[in-house]
Each structure stands twice: as C-alpha cells, then as structure tokens.
Amino acid sequence: MMKSFLKKYQFQFAGHIEVNGRRFVFRKSQNFPEEPVIYCWVLSKKAVSAKGEPIAIVYVGKASFGLPKRMSQHLSGFKNSTTGIKNEKYVSSKLKSNHELQVYVRKPLSYFVLGKSMNGCSIEEEFFIELIENNRAHSDNGILNRKRYPKD
C-alpha cells in the first residue's frame, strides 16, 4: 500500500537517516537529486540485505535549496530545537525497534502565479501533509509536522 502511494506520486528513494555512534547521519543514495524537492521520511521495517518495506510516512517537508542542506538542518535541530528534540525521540525509538527511516523525494511541479512560473515546493508540501493526515493508512498515528494550515 505504501509502495503504491509513493509510486503514484512519483517519489523516489533518496537515502536514509541512521545513527552512527551517538550522531544521526543522512546517507544519500547514488541517484541523489540536488534540486528543490518535496521529501518524506518513510518508516520501514529493517531488512537484512535490502531496503525495508515502507510502512508509514512520518514527516513531509520541502527542501527549496536542496536536500543535503535541509537534512543537515533537521539533524542539527534534533539537538537544538523543541520540535527537533521531540522528533529525535520518536526517530530514536523507531530506529531502536528494528525500523529504518528512509527518505523519498519528488521534484515539484512548476505553477504559474500572476504570470510568473514558480517552484511548487510550498504548495505540494501543504498538499501532501493534508493528504497524509487525512488518510491514516499512510501515516504512523499522524505525522511529525507541526505545521498546520487553516482550512478554507
């Protein structure tokens, strides 16, 4: 079910977050995009030899200046922000219980606003947060995003 969701919306595997000693690190895949992307952290059961089977999306975000910079911000936030510390506790507990945290990305569409072409990162981030929050089958008891947008 989760694989079909990721495929439907053209998310591609970009790497995973792991613990190295007492530090979190982001390990990127070989086919790693450097452009602006929408990304999601996907919880999966750890597999012995390959990527684990995706089971739930736990976070959705935008990386307007590229994923390496955004992942670095997240990992430093695990120590330096209230929300980051909360997210770190969740991630740590899952990584200790035979799960892994995969990172999937998709290139956002471009949108025309008042005659100007714009990167769709913000629009698509909002769309995917709402889509996943409204369909608990795709999330692990809700997602970690603190951002909540007003309903129209």
Query: pLDDT tens, 93-123?
Result: 888 888 888 999 999 999 898 999 988 999 9
Tell whether 78 is covered by a domain: yes
- Give the structural domain span for 50: 2-138
The answer to whether residue 145 is domain-embedded is: no
Whichever domain contains 32, its CATH number is: 3.40.1440.40
Tell me the pLDDT of the chain averaged across its residues.
82
Q: What mean pLDDT is predicted for residues 5-25?
A: 87
pTM of the model: 0.83
Question: Is 148 part of any domain?
Answer: no
Q: Is residue 151 one of the residues assigned to a domain? A: no
Give the number of domains in the chain: 1
* Position 86 in a domain: yes
Q: Which long-range contacts (CB under 8 A, 24 or more apart) does 16-19 make?
A: 16/51, 16/100, 16/101, 16/102, 16/103, 17/41, 17/71, 17/75, 17/91, 17/101, 17/103, 18/95, 18/100, 18/101, 19/92, 19/95
Find the range with the poorest average confidence among 34-38, 41-45, 51-55, 60-64. 51-55
Q: Within a domain: residue 144?
A: no
